[in-house]
Amino acid sequence: MTEAMLPQRRAGVVLHPTSLPGPHGCGDLGPGAYHFVDWLQVAGQTLWQTLPLGPVGLGYSPYMGSSVLAGNPMLVALEPLAARGWISATSLQADFDALRVDFTRVEPWRMARLREAFAGFVAQNQLGDQQALSDWALSQRSWLEDYALFMALDQLHAPALWTQWPSALARREPAALDEARRDMADELAFWQFVQWQFDTQWHALKAYAHTKEVLLVGDLPIFGAHHSADCWARPDLYQLDDDGMPTVVAGVPPDFFSVTGQRWGNPLYDWAAMQADGFAWWIGRIRRQLELADVIRIDHFRGFVDYWEIPADEPTAVNGSWRAGPGEALFAALTQALGDLPIIAEDLGIITPEVVALRERLGFPGMRVLQFAFAGDASHPFLPHNYESNTVVYTGTHDNDTLRGWWAGCTPHERAFAQHYLGISDTEVSWAMLRAALMSVARLSLCQFQDVLELDGSHRMNTPGTMGCWSWRFSWDWVQPHMATTLALFTAASGRTKFHRLQLPD
């Protein structure tokens, strides 16, 4: 891995597509996404980082979905389907909350629209469209067939977990799977159609972003969900008992976010089994992610060195223990198969010298979160004057409060230190923090869109360890002209755009 794999000195914004404005209950890959790319260009931003794009799962979290390889059906824009005549314009009329995703209403409504579109696609029976879907499905066969069959069976047996399906299906007996494929052929075709549309729309958006010199930064969770196509299709790659249930689960020990740690509940990998076949599963996963994104942020990089193993019957993460991960062997296999990797290593939390050493040997930049920088003294590694260039600075991540929310709740020490370090008053915190990140030597600088909009803590995306998150949306009338102008000027002044001369307004 070489540092040159990552783009040099850029800035960008973290915003998940579900947060975009739009008429159909949640943001998607439709007109709102293209408008946001246009805004990024005006604001001098050349990176758009999303959260994981896969189907949402428990608590509607994008970090716990039914597949680490599929796209989220809720992100499929409906306007292009209506334009193809697959769905009627009248069926798109809806009355949803414009500023929150009401998942319990929006998800079934959007899925019904996708089924209507699939029926229209079948009824039209256009040879060119049928061939395009067939060709795409063949190119994605390594994961798509298992995903479609899992979703069809999941719909049939819901709300049962896959371990509670008829034994022959849960254990993937070939005769039972063949029978299911025959009996559910139309349902399998529907799920393939949805993924085809997701991929088609996402790649069109990616191509458009590239015309605006915007690169897409993806987010890859290290672990997947137990009730997922991934675990059902390859149970041999996980630590499961004879009934398919996890014996141990993932999480992190007590930390800044929680005194009892975080019990994520994901099944843990059998790293020895993965290594025995040359990490083929991981090679396929990273290859798929590189089709979708220009740069990959890998969540919980620490877990590749050692990970927190929690007995499955423990209610919290307190009584866990550290276990060795695959280390450099995994990334050697990935590099041999895929070449140098444009990866950001999320190295927050309890980080050991071994984690730092692996990241540095691989050449991956680590992360620094500016909100954490003022809890100590001038030696704190998250303060800008202590950065090295091979770093990605975030004013805050999706797990953090907004900057205004952080400021309202920070300690007196943090407030005083930040005021002296940044030279600010109470009303200036958002832009002062954005400017400090941009002016640092860190190669990449990213901020939450909420902080460009100067929003308070009621607009945060996620509060770790709580339910009812991930639903935040914004309205375009919140986006004032001075926000793009100011961000563009700061970005140009910090050398993070292609312009060599700062264009000041008259």
User: What are the residue numbers of the active site?
Assistant: 299, 346, 399
How many angstroms separate the CA atoms of 330 and 276, rounded? 11
Query: Do 383 and 373 form a contact (C-beta atoms < 8 A)?
Result: yes
Q: Residue 142's closest CA among 234, 74, 272, 227?
A: 234
Number of alpha helices (DSSP H) and beta strands (DSSP E) in the chain = 18, 12
Residues in a beta bridge with 366: 391
CB atoms within 10 A of CB 248: 21
Distances (CA, A) of 166 to 155, 160, 175, 280: 14, 10, 13, 29
Strands of 29-134, DSSP E? 47-49
> What distances in angstroms separate CA 152 from CA 169, 183, 237, one per listed residue?
12, 10, 23
Spatial separation of the C-alpha atoms in residues 77 and 452, rounded to whole Å:
26
Radius of gyration of the chain (CA): 23
Q: Please tell me the distance from the alpha carbon of residue 483 to that of residue 454, in angstroms, as a whole number.
A: 9
Residue 321 CA, distance from chain mean position: 27
Nearest C-alpha neighbor of 63 from the set 71, 73, 53: 53
Q: Which two tokens stand for residue 36?
A: 């946001």
Residues 6+ apart with CB under 8 A from 259: none
- Residue 25 to residues 95, 359, 402, 438, 486: CA-CA distances in angstroms? 8, 40, 23, 34, 31
| CA-wise closest residue to 80 among 40, 123, 30 | 30
The total of other beta-carbon atoms located within 10 Å of residue 256's CB is 12
| Phi then psi dihedrals of residue 11, to 5 deg | -135, 155
Distance CA 498, CA 495 (A): 8
Count the Cβ atoms, other than its own, within 10 Å of residue 339.
Answer: 11
Read off the DSSP letter of residue 402.
Answer: P
CB neighbourhood size of 321 (10 A): 12
CB-CB neighbours of 385 under 10 Å: 12
Q: Are 422 and 433 in contact (CB under 8 A)?
A: yes
User: Which letter does DSSP use for residue 269 in this model?
Assistant: B
SS3 state at 216: strand
